[in-house]
């Protein structure tokens, strides 16, 4: 190859290396910014998760307190019913107290806690209610912080790998520069090494950008 054409070739390859290096830098910066955004989304999701847990716990505690009140009046009504059966002479007075107790129990059950969590043995399934409230919160808003943190970790790894590709690209640039200024035949070796590093780095950068 004539010296003039060879210099034109090396100058062109230097420009190509520069452009590819700029593209790799841009993709690395984009991945780094996306990782920061994912970290922020993870923090928001973590706050949402904690808030959902606290609010769910408070709501279940309120319902359980109402259940205890319901249980107390319901049991009182049952005891009054048993007392009426055992001693019908006080039926009128006890009947009113029994009706009042069961009426309060029914009102508490209807208005202050969901009766679907009442178990056949008379206990309250607070664990099931908590799980369902948390599931509703997860459907309503983002509470899966670990997904965002995993994404941030992958994007950060991608950014670091792309930045590492700038090292062989820099060496390629250096080889092409030597090939342009050296008059000895070794310049062809420099050009070959520069081209080899350019191809390998560009291909590796493309694979990293697509896969990760």
In which domain, by residue range, is 104 found?
3-211
Task: State how far the Cα of 54 lies from the Cα of 169, in Å rounded to an integer.
Answer: 52
Measured in whole angstroms, the distance separating CA 46 from the mean position of its chain's CA atoms is 8
pLDDT beyond 90 at 149: yes
Query: For position 36, which CATH number holds?
Result: 1.10.287
- What DSSP character marks residue 189? H
3-class secondary structure per residue, 70-82:
HHHHHHHHHHHHH
What's the pLDDT at 44? Answer: 94
Contacts of 174 (CB under 8 A, 6+ apart): 194
The mean pLDDT of 189-204, rounded to a whole number, is 91
Query: 8 falls in which pLDDT band (50, 70, 90)?
Result: confident
Q: How far is CA 140 from CA 49, 52, 63, in A?
A: 11, 10, 22
What's the pLDDT at 78? Answer: 86
Total of domains in the chain: 1
Query: 208 falls in which pLDDT band (50, 70, 90)?
Result: very high
The mean pLDDT of 205-211, rounded to a whole number, is 90
What's the pLDDT at 91? Answer: 75
Query: 1 falls in which pLDDT band (50, 70, 90)?
Result: low
pLDDT beyond 70 at 30: yes
| Range with the poorest average pLDDT among 1-10, 40-49, 119-128, 194-203 | 1-10
pLDDT one-digit tens code per residue, 55-114: 999 999 999 999 999 999 999 988 888 888 877 777 777 788 888 888 998 898 889 989
Higher-confidence residue: 186 or 60? 60
Query: 129 falls in which pLDDT band (50, 70, 90)?
Result: very high
pLDDT beyond 90 at 161: yes
What's the pLDDT at 5? Answer: 82
Partnered with residue 124 across adjacent β-strands are 118
pLDDT beyond 80 at 2: no
């Amino acid at each position: 190859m004539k010296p003039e054409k060879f210099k034109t070739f090396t100058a062109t390859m230097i420009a190509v290396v520069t452009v590819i290096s700029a593209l790799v830098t841009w993709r690395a910066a984009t991945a780094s910014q996306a990782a920061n955004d994912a970290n922020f989304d993870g923090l928001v999701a973590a706050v949402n998760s904690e808030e959902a847990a606290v609010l769910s716990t408070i709501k279940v505690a309120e319902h359980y307190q109402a259940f205890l009140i319901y249980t107390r009046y319901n049991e009182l009504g049952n005891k009054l019913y048993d007392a009426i059966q055992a001693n019908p002479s006080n039926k009128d007075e006890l009947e009113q107290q029994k009706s009042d107790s069961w009426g309060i129990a029914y009102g508490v059950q209807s208005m202050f806690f969901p009766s679907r969590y009442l178990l056949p043995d008379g206990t309250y399934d607070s664990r099931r209610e908590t799980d369902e409230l948390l599931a509703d919160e997860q459907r309503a808003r983002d509470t899966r912080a670990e997904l965002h943190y995993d994404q941030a970790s992958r994007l950060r790894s991608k950014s670091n790998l792309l930045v590492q590709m700038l090292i062989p690209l820099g060496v390629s640039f250096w080889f092409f520069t030597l090939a342009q200024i050296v008059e000895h035949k070794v310049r062809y070796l420099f050009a070959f090494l520069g081209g080899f590093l350019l191809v390998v780095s560009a291909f590796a950068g493309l694979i990293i950008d697509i896969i990760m």
